Structure 1
Amino acid sequence: MTTDQTADRETAGLAEPAPDGVMTGKQRVALIVLLTASFTLAVDFSILNVALPSIGADVGFAIANLQWIATAFALCSAGLTLLMGRVADIAGRRRMFLIGMVLLGVGSAVGGLATTPAVLLIARVAQGVATAIVVPAALALLVGAFAEGRARDRALGLNGSLMAAGFTTGAVLGALLTDLLSWRWAFFINVPIAIAVLIVAPIVLEDSRTRERTRLDVPGAVLVTLGLLALLYGLTNAAETAWTDPVTLGALAAAAVLLTVFVLVERQAEFPLVPLGMLVRSNVAWGNIAGALAFVTETSLVFLLTLYLQDVLGYTPLAAGLSFALLGVGTVLGGLVGPRIIGRFGNKAAIVGGFLVQAVATLSLVIVSDAPESIWLVLVATFVGGVANLVVIVGFMVTATSGVPASEQGLATGLTTMSQQVGITMGTPIMSAVLTAVVLGSAVQGPSAVLAGVTAAIWVNGAICVAGALAVAMFLRARPVA
């Protein structure tokens, strides 16, 4: 290890790693704590989706306003994540991680007890802010706990697989809790997890912050936060209405203006929130682009197949959710094999190969029909695509966080978290627009129109995978194979 690397680890407040990529006992416990927190927050993205009608009936939400239960969470979690990642660099990552877990526990308890729409939305905002605090802080702590190499790649692989599996698990768990107990348990389940993490985390996690003289770039923080909120609101509104809706266009235009001004401000800032030099690094820029595309494609494919399973094959919401179990298994497997592939072939080859395999698996779904036997193709294709997608995600995380000083790991992991959440938010509006255009243009409505729309959107989804592979192959500078 070089003198600079040692200084970075001392700045981060971390112990030297075990040799040859072997995790120490303390590292293993710390990894479990961080992965538990990240997985729980990933579950929260989707755990309430199936329960929305029940929540509306119990709490008094109008049908038109139900989408705000998901939107409030998504706007806060994605819109604030870059800011919170930088705050963690300055204030301390363990401190911010613990603050976020407290907020998650309190917000979840309030949500489970809510009897009015206002209180429930406040709880979802609290969960979203908690996600924006915890996820980049946890990822920065995880990255800082392991030197670059096999141990870090393994840790990132597990983190990626559990994060991706969390989205699928959330849909299934939400359906089970709503059917067997109550939607309120989708909130309450977080409380004991938060308490357990808060008990163990102070023992096994080392605090860290930058020792360099710095301060928070308030103008930059305000501009980028408002810009991201406007972007995400525009994307979310597009999914609910249309891309040509005036509110959608206004929000996207505001986002473009705010983010442009943000770049201009950052050029002059003494302590920029995002050093522009970081964004032009090949690994940071193309790693995050690959990550965003990976989440755009896989999460939106789940949306498309959910419509196919329910509106074409006639599955119940619970049966449709359970049909993605093999996808969940594939994501976990992909997270486990991803580091091995990176170790043997390099991060660039892993991302390119993963995208190409995912494209083949996705495009095979264009031949599904209204025949019940099509479910077998769905199961196989989603399993293979899930493995490949997680290889890409692990490659993206390794790529986008490599070679970054410890003092900027919170920012780097904030960028990766933002890429994940922006990708998740973008995917559904894009595929929904394709599907809607085909359905509305169809001469015959009903299941056949939905099938035609789903098929068209799957073509677009697969094409995005191919485009991602080509872009990374052409522009990403590979990290040397260990």
Structure 2
Amino acid sequence: MPYPPSPARLRRPGLSLALLALGHLVISLDLTIVFVALPHIAADVGFTAHTQQWVVSVYAVLYGGFLLLGGRLSDLLGRRRMFVAGMGVYGAASVLGGLATAPEVLLAARGLQGLGGAVLFPAVLALVNTAFAQGRERTRALTVWAMAGAGGLTAGSLAGGVLTQAFGWEAVFFVNVPITVLGAAAAFALLPADGPAGRGGIDVPGALTGTAGATLLIFAVAHGSEAGWTAAEVLAAAALAPLLLGAFLRIQARGRNPLMPLRVFRNRALSAATVVILLFGFTTQAVPYFLTIHFQSVLGFSALETGLAFLGPTLAITAGNFLSEKLVHRFGNRASLTGGILLNAAGAALLAPGFRADGSFLTVLAGIVVVGLGMGVTYECMWIAAGTGVAEEEQGLASGVASTALQIGTATGIAVLVAVANRGVGGRAGQALREATAAGMRDATFVLALALLPAVLAALALPRGKSRVVAAGTPESREEAARGAGQVP
């Protein structure tokens, strides 16, 4: 066993959970905190309109590309060790970003933040899934964890607007430094100590092919939407990615110590959850991006006004997180997840007509509330499913698989949906540009709503049943885990 079991080893579970939620918050905030600050960063550091999107994309590319490796390292080397390492990388990268005066330095900082996230996220989720017993206890812990993460996606825009307006764009980087220092120090007091490093070793060929393949895939999708799908670097990445991923799967099927043992997909809950997570990333993760464009480019909000406008989705998502815990205990995770997905689709369909050049915050408010509630419910339920029935020593791996699906879905979805939204924008200016931008986002959001519906079928493939309170390490807990994996009727 590469990693010793850890349930019931938390002496202060409340504080420990708060620390894990903080780790999730840092990752989620940094995905979106630069959105509102992008125009200021571009003007001061020297990005062009074409290259400024890489401030967002380089984070997503390296974060998504290294998640699978980060998950396996957390199983082998220890989750507390990887938590501290991830926080350390984040803190150093944030100092570098805040001091950057050239595009290359800023992009290097964002890339390092992405690597920090790839190390930190699987460790955080694996700790939640192993330190709290499956059933009501873990669901409550995941509620807090999910609130920090899902709320952070929209709260990032709020924080970015406030910090940029008050202190300048550098503050969106420097704000991470005291948080990461505090988090790394607190880990030694609050998180369960790691045992000896695993003896299994690292699947080097699998790590190289899997990481390179996932990174090139995300690069091709993210860069293709900006540079054009026929750009040489996009075509090269698109050609190499499937070859590397194919080699990765072959290595995993035949290797003695695979990075991602394919048997994990025999777990029905994890397999179904991975599909849901992929489609969730493809669709709803584009909503904060579209809202930012609508508020700033169409309605003319300032950075501070845009940040304050994101209070709406932040509060709606938080309410959805609270609601999800009650729904899971009453109706089970499968029914709750299905309802959350349908709520997301309905919210997107309601949001789309509100994207109007003559609109206001009120024209999108109803859609924001409904899609936010749906995001809050879905976000928690899909991660509950991803950790159900997974052996403790492979929770980091499962977290890496599921979170890689989220990043691939997000990168692909934003590229596709932004391409749909930008079809009629070229060559326009002034009021005509605002009208074309609003119309394009309206069309893209309707596409988003339709693209969510296949996720319902994946959710219905989850094992039936409601969460129960079971003690960790007992025969009943093992039976509950097997039921979640689809091995017990």
Please indicate, yes or no, whether the TM-score normalized by the shorter chain is above 0.5.
yes
Does 1:86 pair with 2:72? yes
Spell out the pairing of 1:326-341 with structure 2 (5 A cutoff).
Answer: 326-341=312-327
Question: Which is worse superposed, 222-231 or 113-122?
Answer: 113-122
**1:341-390 CA distances to partner (integer Å, 9 max, x unpaired)?**
11111111111111111111111233336375653241121112111112
Most deviating of 414-423 and 387-396: 414-423
Match of 1:359 among 338, 345, 354: 345
Counterpart mapping for 1:208-227 below 5 A:
208=194, 213-227=199-213
- CA distance in 2 between counterparts of 1:440 and 1:184 reads 32
Q: Which amino acid is 1:179 matched to?
A: Q
Give the structure 1 partner of residue 6 of structure 2.
13
- Which residue pairs with 1:463 in the alignment? 450
Deviation at 1:35, TM superposition (A): 0.8
**Superposed, which structure 2 residues align to 1:240-255 within 5 Å?**
240-255=226-241
Tell me by how many angstroms 1:125 deviates: 2.1
The separation in 1 between residues aligned to 2:118 and 2:182, in whole angstroms, is 20
Q: Helix, strand or coil: the match of 2:4?
A: helix
How far did residue 133 of structure 1 move?
0.7
> Quick one: percent identity of the two aligned structures?
33
Letter in 1 for 2:274: N
Give the superposed CA RMSD. Answer: 2.5
Q: Match for 1:87: what amino acid? A: L
Moved more, 243-252 or 79-88: 243-252
- Cα distance in 1 between the residues matched to 2:207 and 2:52: 30
Amino acid at match of 2:62: C
- For 2:193 and 2:152, locate their aligned partners in 1 and report how far apart those are by CA, in whole Å: 27
User: Cα distance, 1:25 vs. partner?
Assistant: 6.3
For residues 353 and 171 of structure 2, what CA distance do their matches in structure 1 show?
39
C-alpha contact (below 8 Å) 1:11/1:211 kept by paired residues: no
Alignment match, 1:26: 12
CA distance in 2, matches of 1:125, 1:373: 37
Q: Does 2:403 correspond to 1:417?
A: yes
Aligned 8 A contact 1:154 1:336 in 2: no
- Going from structure 1 to structure 2, the CA distance change for 1:210 and 1:386 (only over 3 Å counts) comes to farther
| CA distance 1:127–1:180, shift in 2 (3 Å) | same
CA deviations over 1:33-87 (Å, ceiling 9, x no partner): 1111210121111212222232233334444432332222222211111101101
What is aligned with 2:243?
257
Of the three residues 310, 323, 340, the one matched with 2:309 is 323
Q: Contact 1:89–1:210 (CA<8 Å) still a contact in 2?
A: no
Q: Does 1:344 align with 2:317?
A: no
Paired residue for 2:101?
115
Q: Which of 368, 371, 374 is 1:382 aligned to?
A: 368
Mapping for residues 229-244 of structure 1, pairs under 5 Å: 229-244=215-230
Report the equivalent of 1:290.
276
Is the 8 Å Cα contact of residues 281 and 409 (structure 2) preserved in structure 1? Answer: yes
**Please, what TM-score do these two structures have when normalized by structure 1?**
0.90
Counterparts of 2:82 and 2:168, CA distance in 1: 32
Rounded Cα–Cα distance in structure 1 between residues aligned with 2:143 and 2:241: 33
State whether residues 291 and 392 of structure 1, in contact with CA within 8 Å, keep that contact through their aligned partners in structure 2. Answer: no
Residue 133 of structure 1 corresponds to: 119
| Alignment coverage as a number of residue pairs | 466
The yes-or-no answer on 1:40 pairing with 2:33 is no
CA 1:391–1:409 in 2, change beyond 3 Å: closer, same or farther? same
Residues 240 and 479 of structure 1: CA distance in aligned 2, closer, same or farther (over 3 Å): farther
| Cα distance in 1, alignment partners of residues 136 and 233 from structure 2 | 47
Residue 52 of structure 2: aligned partner: 66
Is 1:447 the counterpart of 2:434? The answer is yes
Q: Structure 1: where are the runs of 5+ without partners? A: 1-6, 17-23
Name the residue aligned to 2:477.
none
TM-superposed deviation, 1:118: 3.1
Question: Counterpart of 2:12 in 1: which secondary structure?
Answer: helix
1:55 counterpart residue number: 41
Q: Which amino acid in structure 1 is aligned with residue 245 of structure 2?
A: L
Query: 1:449–1:69: structure 2 CA closer, same or farther, 3 Å change rule?
Result: closer
Q: CA deviation at 1:317?
A: 4.3
The 1:412–1:369 alpha-carbon spacing in structure 2 relative to 1, beyond 3 Å, is closer
Q: What is the distance in 2 between the residues matched to 1:213 and 1:25?
A: 28
Deviations along 1:425-456, one digit per CA (max 9) or x if unpaired, are: 222111112122354699x9533322332221
Q: 1:64 to 1:308 in 2, by over 3 A?
A: closer
5+ residue gaps, structure 2: 469-489
Distance, in Å, in 2 between the alignment partners of 1:122 and 1:441 is: 33
Q: Secondary structure at the match of 1:49?
A: coil
Question: C-alpha distance in 1, partners of 2:60/2:198?
Answer: 33
